[in-house]
Amino acid sequence: MENYFWNTEEQQSTKKIFVLVIYDIVSNKRRNHFAKLLSGYGMRIQKSSFEALVDKKLLEKLEKEIPKAINPEEDSVRIYRMTGYGEVILFGQNQKLENEEVVIL
């Protein structure tokens, strides 16, 4: 078992938002394209989920790109914004997490 923590309330020059993006995309081509898109924002944590610590402007950019990358009649994308203090408890096969400014997306 391994844990990591975040605090989005710390005083920073730019307010950061911790987000979890989960998706279910039917087409292999769209799914691969979408994963590449998300890798520019954060880190893949499972096959269909990414985590990131981003500022508001970058999150707004992502929210504008998502509708262009999916078919809304077949695909589903959820963005969970997590604010304040948080903890993630990891079990099983997990990547080693480095203590960086960008946590994961």
Q: Output the pLDDT for position 6.
A: 59
- At 61-104, the pLDDT tens digits run 999 999 999 999 999 999 999 877 777 777 776 655 554 444 44
| pLDDT tens profile 7-31 | 666 555 567 888 999 999 999 999 9
Domains of the chain (ranges; CATH) run 2-90 (3.30.70.240)
Which tens digits make up the pLDDT trace of 44-69?
988 999 999 899 999 999 999 999 99
Can you list the pairs that 53-58 forms with residues at least 24 positions away whose Cβ atoms lie under 8 Å? 53/6, 53/8, 53/16, 53/17, 53/18, 53/19, 53/101, 53/102, 53/103, 53/104, 53/105, 54/16, 54/17, 54/19, 54/102, 54/105, 55/14, 55/15, 55/16, 55/17, 56/15, 56/17
